[in-house]
Amino acid sequence: MSLRNFKALRLDAMSRDFGSLNALKGITLNVERGEFIALLGPSGCGKSTALNCLAGLLPLSSGSIWLDDKRIDTLGPEGRGFGMVFQNYALFPHMSVRKNIGFGLRMQNRPKDEIARRVEEAMRLVRLTNQGDKLPGQLSGGQQQRVAIARAIVVEPPLVLMDEPLSNLDAKLRLEMRAEIRRIHASLGCATIYVTHDQDEALSLADRIVVLRDGQTRQIGTPAELYGRPAHSDVAEFMGYRNIIKTAAILGANLEVTIGGAKLWGTSVDITASGDALAAIRPEDLSVSSDGPISAIVQTAEYRGRDFFGVALTQDGTELYFRSERAVRQGEPIRLSAEPHRILVYAA
Amino acid sequence: MKDALARKGIDGVTLLLLPAVFFVFALFIYPFLYGLFLSFAPKDGGWWLGNYAKFFSDPFLYDTIGKTLLVAVPVTIVNLACSVPVALRVRLMLKPKLLTTILVIPITLGTVLVAEGMLNYFGPRGWLNRFLMEFHLVSEPLHLIHNYWGVFLSLVITGFPFTFLLTLSYVTGIDPALEQAGAMLGARGWDRFRHILMPLLLPGLMITFCLSFVQAFSVFPSAVLLGAPAGITRVISVAAYTAAFEEYDYSMASAIAMIMATVQVGIVALLLGLQSLFYSGPAGGGKG
């Protein structure tokens, strides 16, 4: 089958129920050829369900999946020809690395010399040459990960699905493999859908990010859009805006909000009139300065190498996560400030 | 001295082993050795290997090995062949408890009760034959008891649950993600079974085969109650029983028991030797 040269993958109101629980409530998404999409969300948001539905491991309850004008959600996993990297890698423990990688080609009944050549190529691509005869159990976690990736891409699938592939690795290896995944995607250019709960991973890898929550799409956008201007306060919270403060917004020539008793200017996201609102500020955008408008008392402070991150309590009892370039002590009174374009205001 | 022992893992707690060691000696090793030596002292004196020579020169005796194997091997193969597909199906069920319970009931009944039931059900005037005759499916009753098939059926009924439970534990030990990975790579059902499930199951199935075989090989009650203990199902345990309790030749009975043990150990060793040719590591997906 030659689905490799497809133009677009289309999810049309893809839904999945488990009994009375709606795990996915109508996901609609277009994936262009060669695109890297991250499905991002907290655990239980339905992102793994979405991936399994795409893979064909779970049937849809309603909706459809299209590869150009071919409907594929009626096909089983073996009929779709997608590559998948599992969270625990799911390498066949009784097969050598070479046999594992060549499994998909063998299932396609390719000639032996072609299989050997393409397996070698794939092993070179994931930098695993000389490991071909080992069993998966003899490899480290990072190497197993590489085998899993090679096994998924060697059949040149139209789409590669990755289910939190880095979650079992230690922090250093995770960064390394992240760069590897980016390099492999750049050199192959196959469309990839990558499930993760780690916003850093999604931001650094993806062309577009789909934020899911409770089985629904909350926002679809480029990493820059999601980082700089989340469409909803819950997306903002998930994207690292740790300060979500209940406030009253006054819409005039400028948008005025009250934080910790102090009046500040903010940037409206979806404010159309004065009233109850939520202000979202990243800790790194709320910094200590001697003339800052907000006065607060330091509760805790942790050293982060270059700077300090801490929690401060304002007089009206608001907890604020902030950044400081100088050392701050517990109990110390400080003043905090934030730029107006760093304070995003959402209608409550 | 104490430190040196402690470093080898021997301390006060080790003493707790003693009761178990005592029982192993008293109930297993001593009777075994007693029987072994007894088998070398024929009842009527003479050559120390006399019992064994007698066994292997009398077709009425040595034929029992073949007859026992003729029952035990096919029964074990049938049980295993039925267990694997059932276990694969049960693994996918959300509530396997009920089915497992039904399948396990025959174990709890015991061979004699099952044999009694079979005599009534499979007999010439039993329900099965009455049903078949009533609907003119057969012209004369099927002979299902007091022959080879009686023993065969009884061993399948009582042996299957045991084989099934062992198989189920091996089948559920295989990470379902492996089969999913196979499907994603284009493997259809049969290919997934042949290339992924079977190689991972094989070591467990060998063990299951050995244990089920040993159970079937020592068949006694059903061979007497449902078989033809003077003919086709004169199995080796019947020969041992006859020697011990009809001829009162405990020495000969011990010799037959030793021969029985040797055949079992030989076949189990052969299978376990074969097993080393296959993959026998964990059946999971590595570091998960």
Q: What tens digit of pLDDT does each residue of A33-55 get?
A: 889 999 998 888 889 899 999 99
Q: A165 CB near a chain B CB, below 8 Å?
A: no
- Mean local confidence (pLDDT), B102-114: 83
Q: Least CB-CB distance to B181: which of A81, A90, A137?
A: A90
The total number of structural domains in chain B stands at 1
Kindly determine whether residue A135 and residue B183, on different chains, have CB atoms separated by under 8 Å.
no
- Mean local confidence (pLDDT), A181-193: 89
Residue B286 with chain A: CB contacts under 8 Å: 88-89, 91, 93, 136-137, 139, 144
Q: How far apart are CA A234 and CA A256, in angstroms?
A: 21
Residue A81 with chain B: CB contacts under 8 Å: 186
In a domain, B83, yes or no: yes
Chosen for mutation from A52, A72, A94 (greatest number of chain B CBs closer than 10 Å) is: A94
Nearest CA in chain A to B190: A107
Nearest CA in chain B to A165: B288
Nearest CA in chain A to B185: A104
pLDDT score, position A1: 41
Q: Least CB-CB distance to A92: which of B184, B196, B288?
A: B196
Kindly determine whether residue B181 and residue A81, on different chains, have CB atoms separated by under 8 Å.
no
Kindly determine whether residue A94 and residue B186, on different chains, have CB atoms separated by under 8 Å.
no
Under 8 Å CB pairs connecting chains A and B tally to 94
Q: Is the dihedral of CA B121, B122, B128, B133 positive or negative?
A: negative
Residue A4: band (very low, low, confident or very high) from pLDDT cuts 50, 70, 90: low
Q: Least CB-CB distance to A168: which of B182, B186, B287?
A: B287
pLDDT score, position B287: 44
Kindly determine whether residue A103 and residue B185, on different chains, have CB atoms separated by under 8 Å.
yes
Could you tell me how far CA B70 lies from the centroid of its own chain? 13
Domains of chain A: residue spans and CATH: 8-230 (3.40.50.300), 241-347 (2.40.50.140)
User: Cα torsion at B85, B89, B92, B96 (round to 10°)?
Assistant: -120
Half-sphere exposure for A6 (CA within 13 Å, toward CB): 29
The chain B residues in contact with chain A (CB within 8 A) are: 175, 177-178, 180-188, 191, 195-196, 199-200, 279, 281-288
In a domain, B33, yes or no: no
Q: Is the confidence at residue B50, as pLDDT, over 70?
A: yes
Give the residue among B229, B249, B270, B286 at the shortest CA–CA distance from B64: B229
Give the residue among A171, A200, A197, A240 at the shortest CA–CA distance from A87: A197
Kindly determine whether residue B183 and residue A89, on different chains, have CB atoms separated by under 8 Å.
no
Kindly determine whether residue B200 and residue A94, on different chains, have CB atoms separated by under 8 Å.
yes
Predicted ipTM of the assembly: 0.83
Query: Phi and psi of B156, rounded to 5°?
Result: -65, -45
Nearest CA in chain B to A166: B288
What residues have CB less than 8 Å from A313, skipping those under 6 apart? A296, A297, A299, A319, A320
- Mean local confidence (pLDDT), A94-108: 94
The structure's pTM equals 0.81
Residue B194: band (very low, low, confident or very high) from pLDDT cuts 50, 70, 90: very high
Report the percent of chain A where pLDDT is more than 70.
Answer: 99
Give me the CATH number covering residue B92.
Answer: 1.10.3720.10
Q: Is the dihedral of CA A285, A289, A295, A300 positive or negative?
A: positive
The nearest CA of chain B is from the CA of A135 a distance in Å of 10
Q: Least CB-CB distance to A76: which of B183, B199, B286?
A: B183
- Mean local confidence (pLDDT), B81-101: 85
In a domain, B20, yes or no: no
Q: A83 CB near a chain B CB, below 8 Å?
A: yes
| A320: β partners | A312
**pLDDT tens digits, residue range B144-181?**
888 999 999 999 988 999 999 999 999 988 998 999 99
Give the residue among A280, A290, A331, A292 at the shortest CA–CA distance from A310: A331
In a domain, B92, yes or no: yes
Q: Is the confidence at residue B265, as pLDDT, over 90?
A: yes
Nearest CA in chain A to B181: A90
pLDDT score, position B288: 39
Kindly determine whether residue B200 and residue A93, on different chains, have CB atoms separated by under 8 Å.
yes
Nearest CA in chain B to A76: B183
Instruction: Provide the edge-to-edge strand list for the sheet that holds A70-71.
Output: A21-32, A8-18, A62-67, A70-71
pLDDT score, position A168: 84
Nearest CA in chain A to B288: A88
In a domain, B26, yes or no: no
Structural domain range at position B197: 59-275
> Please, are residues B92 and B98 in contact by the beta-carbon 8 Å criterion?
no
Kindly determine whether residue B199 and residue A94, on different chains, have CB atoms separated by under 8 Å.
yes
- Mean local confidence (pLDDT), B237-262: 92
